[in-house]
Amino acid sequence: MKALVYTGVEELTYREEKNPIEKNGESILKVHASGICGSDMHAYHGKDERRVPPLILGHEVSGKVVNGKFKDKYAVLNPLITCGKCEYCSNDREHLCQDRVLLGMNKPHLRQGAFAELITVPDQNIYEIPKKLEIKEAAVAEPTAVSLHAVLMAEVSSKKKLSECRILVQGAGAIGLLSSLILSKIKNNDNITISDPNNLRLKECSKYIDCKLVNPSDNEINIDGFDIVFDTVGLEVSRQQAISVVKPGGCIIHIGLTQPSGQFNFRKATLQEVTFIGTYCYTNNDFKNTIQILANKEIGDLNWIEYRDLKEGAKAFKQIHDGTCSAPKIVLLP
């Protein structure tokens, strides 16, 4: 099969790889679409110890099952593989399983990813795509589930209804846009500000959501001004801004993974009872609900997705790296 292989820092090679081998309890999917995630970019930059070259990256994937119990079904894969036995897996919190692994990782266990023509996955991670959802659009189920889970975490934490909150979303990538769409179209919030230094992305997002779109340095982002801040970036500077602009008693939902540490105003967090929640993925129920949200067009059309050929994937990564890409999400097609 052909695959786009992560072979070194900022290096991707489109080449021939061995086909995946059939295993008991698993099925092989012929990949129709696979999205580029921010965590794939972290690996590309050599900053993810869980992804070591050579490795096929990619975990946002849809396609057609070619063998096993789901043969000939169009499916989207939940890329989060867990043990199914621990206290978390036994209590519908499988996303916290300490033995979890994602497709497109080789630590703690090797799982080749979806930037390829074929991929193998456990049967319990296969979800049939509803007929009214386009197969290539289904590839964004995973980042949508991440965003849905983050919004639900904010809803549980907030002392006010989400519809009544002033909300800042840092980052106009897929997670930032998806979180904003869920907040706007499902949770009925009309007081959202999205910030991003990439004006091309802000302009693209403006086509799909009615909210304020600003540069992170804009005066609109004022100190103690927001009930909830979604940091989908994960930089030290974005965390510093988040704690600066969140209101007393407010909440920071931290989704980004770009920088693992740095300075943070813990004094304000302590004195003003600010809640800080880290969230990285989603439950199985979140994933199921996400498929229906997408199928029912609850967050609108998905024309903000840009599709590229897999063989041109290295160029797509480079454009994201350079900040010259306007699309919040690029999906690769084998």
CATH number at 13 reads 3.90.180.10
My answer on whether 30 and 86 are in the same domain is yes
| pLDDT attached to residue 238 | 98
Report the domain count for the chain. 2
Q: What is the pLDDT of residues 236-260, one digit of tens each?
A: 999 999 999 999 999 999 999 899 8
Q: What is the pLDDT of residues 39-63, one digit of tens each?
A: 999 999 999 999 999 999 999 999 9
Question: CA-to-CA distance for 234 and 194, rounded, in angstroms?
Answer: 15
Q: Average the pLDDT over 126-150 and give the result.
A: 97
| Backbone φ, ψ for residue 56 (5° rounding) | -85, 115
Q: Does residue 249 come out as left (phi exceeding 0), alpha (psi in the -120 to 50 range) or beta?
A: left
Whole-number percent of the chain with pLDDT over 90? 97
My answer on whether 196 and 257 are in the same domain is yes
Q: Where is 30: in which H helix or E strand?
A: strand 26-35
Q: What is the pLDDT of residues 166-185, one digit of tens each?
A: 999 999 999 999 999 999 99
My answer on whether 156 and 268 are in the same domain is yes
Following DSSP, what letter does each residue of 264-327 receive, concatenated? --HHHHHHTT-EEEE-----HHHHHHHHHHHHTTTT---TTEEEEEGGGHHHHHHHHHHT----
- The CATH number of whichever domain residue 149 belongs to comes to 3.40.50.720
| Helix residue ranges, H only, 206-265 | 236-245
Specify if 108 maps to a domain. Answer: yes
Determine the number of helices (DSSP H) and then strands (DSSP E) in the chain: 8, 18
Specify if 13 maps to a domain. Answer: yes
| pLDDT attached to residue 107 | 86
My answer on whether 36 and 150 are in the same domain is no
Question: How many CB atoms are closer than 10 A to CB 48?
Answer: 18
Domain holding 119, by residue range, is 2-129+304-333
My answer on whether 167 and 269 are in the same domain is yes
Position 109 confidence tier, pLDDT thresholds 50, 70, 90: confident
Specify if 311 maps to a domain. Answer: yes
My answer on whether 93 and 44 are in the same domain is yes
Under 8 Å between Cβ of 195 and 176: no
Specify if 63 maps to a domain. Answer: yes
Which of 278, 293, 323 is the C-terminal boundary of a domain? 278
pLDDT at 315 over 90: yes
My answer on whether 113 and 208 are in the same domain is no
Specify if 283 maps to a domain. Answer: no
Q: What is the pLDDT of residues 148-168, one digit of tens each?
A: 999 999 999 999 999 999 999
My answer on whether 265 and 318 are in the same domain is no
Q: What is the pLDDT of residues 10-20, one digit of tens each?
A: 999 999 999 99
Specify if 292 maps to a domain. Answer: no
My answer on whether 164 and 266 are in the same domain is yes
My answer on whether 164 and 270 are in the same domain is yes
Whole-number percent of the chain with pLDDT over 70? 100
pLDDT at 270 over 90: yes
Under 8 Å between Cβ of 60 and 174: no
My answer on whether 6 and 124 are in the same domain is yes
pLDDT at 223 over 90: yes
Under 8 Å between Cβ of 269 and 184: no
Specify if 90 maps to a domain. Answer: yes
My answer on whether 171 and 201 are in the same domain is yes
